[in-house]
Amino acid sequence: MRPAPVKEVVVEGDRFVICHNPEEATRDQAVRERLLKRLEEEITGSDQLSPTKRAELLGKLKTKPGLSRLLRVTAGGLLRVDRAAVAREAHLAGKFLLRSSDPEGTPHRLQQVADLGRAERPDLVPDLLG
C-alpha cells in the first residue's frame, strides 16, 4: 500500500508534507505494544523496592531508549508507564515528514522529492504518489 500526503505546510519558505503509511502504522503499533508489555513487566513490583533499588532499576531502564520514552517517575519516586507518551506515539504511528524548498509544490515536484528520499534511504521512504 502506498502512503498519501495528508497535509502540506509551508514554514519560512520550506514546504513540508506530512505523509501516512498504514502498513508502517500497524508495525509501529505492534512494536509499541511489545515495549509496553516489557516495561510493565520490568516495573511490576518496583513499588516495594527500596528507593536505592528503585533508582538502580530506573537507571537500567533509562539506558533503553524504547522503554525510557514510555516511562515516568511520580513525585514520590515510583515508576509508572507514561500513558501520555504512549498516546503521543500512537498519534504519530506511520507518519513521516518530507521537506522541500521548492515553492511551487506541484505533484511532479513532490514525486521528485520522494524519489530523492528513496534514493538516499530506500528503506525509509515508500512511494508517495501514483
pLDDT of residue 128: 41
Residues 74 and 109 in one domain: no
Answer whether residue 26 is part of any domain: no
Given pLDDT bands bounded at 50, 70 and 90, which one contains residue 23?
confident
Residues 79 and 109 in one domain: no
pLDDT of residue 1: 47
Residues 77 and 110 in one domain: no
Total number of domains in the chain: 2
Identify the CA nearest to 125 among candidates 103, 104, 107, 99. Answer: 99
For 32-50, write each residue's pLDDT tens digit: 999 999 999 999 999 999 9
Residues 47 and 88 in one domain: yes
For 52-106, write each residue's pLDDT tens digit: 999 999 999 999 999 999 999 999 999 999 999 999 999 988 888 877 666 665 5
Question: In angstroms, rounded to a whole number, what is the distance separating the alpha carbons of residues 23 and 123?
Answer: 13
Residues 80 and 103 in one domain: no
Residues 110 and 128 sit within 8 Å (Cβ to Cβ): yes
Domain with 82, as residue range(s), is: 38-93
Residues 103 and 15 sit within 8 Å (Cβ to Cβ): yes
Indicate whether 122 pLDDT > 50. no
